[in-house]
Structure 1
């Protein structure tokens, strides 16, 4: 494979890598929001109301969950709501932090993350909710966790970075190869459909015309130079070499 062909393949590979990483990032982002996000994995409590929720140790998301007749995409109005989480006997109080997230709506089912709870010890927690939810359909608080496939976003991002670096390097390489593949002298004319025109060869000496052998040697030297620069493939070089030698 010549250097010119290899550089073109490198550019194509880099572009494909970049496209796949971008598509993968978008697909993963959509799946994380609509499929992988288990916002109600640990249960729900109506608003207003109370109930018992089994929570694991670690970070738990608390989302406002309701039914909406429209299709809100952003700016969904969160009502004034409150939550009180009582730990089981002997466990530390969970730390509740406000963390409003984006709105997700699937088939009129709308949810918005409102809090993140840091649970010190797994157990059954008593949850009490309240709020002004008169204009909402079946309002409740959902306890769950985010997508467990967040690492896919990092993977796609890293792949995109690699693709950008590969593309820049491949373009630089391709530019250098194409520059090196230019004719080495004004009399060497490259054609699209065939090997370069090597019939016009300068005189070996100013005082006498070159011999047939001298012309062939000069043609072979020019041919080898074009092959070494990547302007000719090995097959093209051998074919042109045979043509020149057969003229003897």
Structure 2
């Protein structure tokens, strides 16, 4: 019983601690990814409409629509119709564009959302041409960048939170089982038997004389004593 209680307390404490660490860590990492570690424009930007050159490494590159906004846009932020042409260096194959819409991210009045992922066949300087119906957008441009290197951290802290939740549930189950266990059976001692004490009292003188007289009467009646003998013994006993 004591061991189960100790385990339950340890699991509850560790569960609460892990849940707090997981929740706080998840929030902090998400804020860092949004404000500090976001590398959506790591390789440069090109205005819309417009043209420019971007130095791209081999591999995947993310292409986001980047603009300034007033207020706080909702998840229904309207995307303009955009067209993009990427011209590779001489002797390099064309990049492969894949439509890949991401989550809208807004920091102060700065908003961006991923639209395409490009497979860059070789590192080099790529010429970019952009077009789009961007009337009403403030300083619209296409940003070329990559995913944050800490993108896995939110999942780590989410896992820590989940483990803490499991510990908390297990501790509650153990505590409930301990409460519902049948109590120990105690065998009560047998009730004390009543004490019947026999109290003897020394016979009084009168009682002794009465007993002697009864004995004399029995002897007379049986014929062992004559009436005269009985009377004489009676006077002696009574002190007459």
Same fold (TM over 0.5): yes
5 Å-filtered alignment, 1:159-170, equals: 159-170=160-171
Count, aligned residues: 194
5 Å-filtered alignment, 1:216-227, equals: none
SS at match of 1:153: helix
- By how many angstroms is 1:9 displaced? 2.6
Aligned counterparts of 2:144 and 2:126: Cα–Cα separation in 1? 11
- By how many angstroms is 1:101 displaced? 1.9
Query: Structure 1, unaligned stretches of length 5 or more?
Result: 188-200, 210-248
Structure whose CA Rg is larger: 2
Aligned counterparts of 1:52 and 1:6: Cα–Cα separation in 2? 63
Q: Could you tell me which residue of structure 2 aligns to residue 202 of structure 1?
A: 189
Q: Could you tell me which residue of structure 2 aligns to residue 156 of structure 1?
A: 157
Q: Which has the higher contact order (CA 8 A, sep 6+)?
A: 2
Aligned counterparts of 1:122 and 1:208: Cα–Cα separation in 2? 106
SS at match of 1:100: coil
Q: Could you tell me which residue of structure 2 aligns to residue 35 of structure 1?
A: 36
Q: Could you tell me which residue of structure 1 aligns to residue 95 of structure 2?
A: 94
Displaced runs of 4+ in structure 1, greater than 6 A? Answer: 205-209
Q: Could you tell me which residue of structure 2 aligns to residue 70 of structure 1?
A: 71
Residues 50-76 of structure 1, C-alpha deviations (whole Å, 9 max, x = no match): 111001111111111112122213211
- By how many angstroms is 1:142 displaced? 0.6
Distance 1:208 1:70, change over 3 A: same
Q: Could you tell me which residue of structure 1 aligns to residue 173 of structure 2?
A: 172
- By how many angstroms is 1:160 displaced? 2.5
- By how many angstroms is 1:123 displaced? 0.9
- By how many angstroms is 1:125 displaced? 0.6
Contact 2:7–2:171 under 8 Å retained in 1 = no
Contact 1:58–1:120 under 8 Å retained in 2 = yes
Q: Could you tell me which residue of structure 1 aligns to residue 115 of structure 2?
A: 114
Distance 1:208 1:156, change over 3 A: farther
Distance 1:175 1:126, change over 3 A: same
Distance 1:144 1:208, change over 3 A: farther
Distance 1:18 1:147, change over 3 A: same
Contact 2:66–2:143 under 8 Å retained in 1 = yes
Give the TM-score of the pair, scaled to structure 1. Answer: 0.70
Aligned counterparts of 2:145 and 2:58: Cα–Cα separation in 1? 12
Q: Could you tell me which residue of structure 2 aligns to residue 5 of structure 1?
A: 6
